[in-house]
Amino acid sequence: RALDLAGDRGPLALASSTPAPLIERSLEHFGLRERFAAVHSADAEPFGKPHPGVFLSAAASLGVNPLECLVFEDSAAGVLAAKAGRMSVVAVPAGEDRGEPVFALADLVLASLEDLSAQWLDERFARPRD
């Protein structure tokens, strides 16, 4: 559902610290590869998260200004990386991590991606369509 909501509002990229071969195998296994216009692994970057490189590379490959990007993250390092890249962040921390102070930096913190609302996305990222 979150992929549908976000994908209806702009192109999607996947940017992860996971090694590229594992990302590709996982996307193919779950039939999701075609949902993403670009896929980036931090293993192709000189620095991993919390450096924003993987997110900035993903934004550049989409031709999107980082200020107009929304990152979905489950890790503290990922939230820091997205914010360092001047991107908006929806954090979905694992239960044991929810109390981490860094998640307060996120624009929105959810218990589950199922809680993402179209209204929240539209209020922050609505753009006229061509």
Distance, CA of 78 to CA of 126 (rounded, Å): 24
Categorize the per-residue pLDDT at 129 as very low, low, confident or very high, splitting at 50, 70 and 90: low
Left if phi > 0, otherwise alpha if psi is -120 to 50, otherwise beta: which for 31? left
Question: Phi, psi at residue 39, to the nearest 5°?
Answer: -135, 130
Please indicate, yes or no, whether the overall pTM of this predicted structure exceeds 0.85: yes
Which of 130, 58, 115 is closest to 87 using CA atoms? 58
Domains, the chain, with CATH or none:
2-125 (3.40.50.1000)
For 79-100, write each residue's pLDDT tens digit.
Answer: 999 999 999 999 999 888 888 9
